[in-house]
Amino acid sequence: AQSVAQPEDQVNVAEGNPLTVKCTYSVSGNPYLFWYVQYPNRGLQFLLKYITGDNLVKGSYGFEAEFNKSQTSFHLKKPSALVSDSALYFCAVSLYNNNDMRFGAGTRLTVKP
Amino acid sequence: GAVVSQHPSWVICKSGTSVKIECRSLDFQATTMFWYRQFPKQSLMLMATSNEGSKATYEQGVEKDKFLINHASLTLSTLTVTSAHPEDSSFYICSARDRYLSGANVLTFGAGSRLTVL
């Protein structure tokens, strides 16, 4: 079965600095990879996904992620962090049709002014 | 864009009572909906897959008699927590998949329902 690891529980960055939230995956097959963001007491909001094609995926709110097959990673990045980016970020992986989407444990991003 | 509505957002109930949570796809039809449970500071755990017109598929370790799922229409799935106990207190989130989109399409998530059992 597929799985996702987010090695960092917490990431702290200063506003204006670049941010990276790490994600590695394990699947037997071609992965479909996703990033979601969750604000307090809210559901998940879709940021971006990788299905196939260009390894660099651009998503909502200026976020992007790079699929690295050799390192089985899909790190989330943003060139310049905003305080409003502070939230809980989840990486997820599935095979084919989302019927079995697995989420990472989540990484809490805090952007300080 | 696609919207999924969950109701209620917050619910407090007494131990032993049953609580129903609704998940509605507002502008699309969903043959498949998913129910997740999220404990504080933890990830989402898939509880079950809800299929319109058929029985739900439960993940291992999830009691189907305790967490009743009904997907009676293409826009509505309900989760009923029966005989709730304090340990059932959690944040429950649903997601829905547009029936006309195939492959690795994006799921649309509801805003979640926080259940507190006293």
- With an 8 Å Cβ cutoff, are B112 and A43 in contact? yes
Mean pLDDT (whole number) for B91-106? 80
- With an 8 Å Cβ cutoff, are B44 and A105 in contact? no
Q: Per residue in B60-78, pLDDT tens?
A: 999 999 999 999 899 999 9
Q: Which of residues 32-71 of A touch B (CB under 8 A)?
A: 32, 34, 36, 41-46, 49, 51
- The first and second tokens of residue A45, run together, are 């909001």
For A37, nearest residue in chain B (alpha carbons): B109
The predicted structure's pLDDT at residue B104: 58
The amino acid sitting at B57 is: T
Option in A90, A101, A104 nearest B107 (CB):
A101
Instruction: Render each residue's pLDDT in chain A as its tens digit; 113 residues.
Output: 778 999 999 999 999 999 999 999 998 888 899 999 998 877 889 899 998 889 999 999 999 999 999 999 999 999 999 999 999 999 999 876 556 788 899 999 999 99
- With an 8 Å Cβ cutoff, are B43 and A103 in contact? yes
The predicted structure's pLDDT at residue B118: 95
**Residues B17 and B116: beta-carbon distance below 8 Å:** no
Option in B43, B102, B108 nearest A104 (CB):
B43
The predicted structure's pLDDT at residue B68: 96
DSSP B102: -
| pLDDT at position B41 over 80 | no
- Residues in A closer than 8 angstroms to B50, CB to CB, are none
The predicted structure's pLDDT at residue B23: 96
3-state secondary structure B88-118: HCEEEEEEEEECCCCCCCCCEECCCEEEEEC
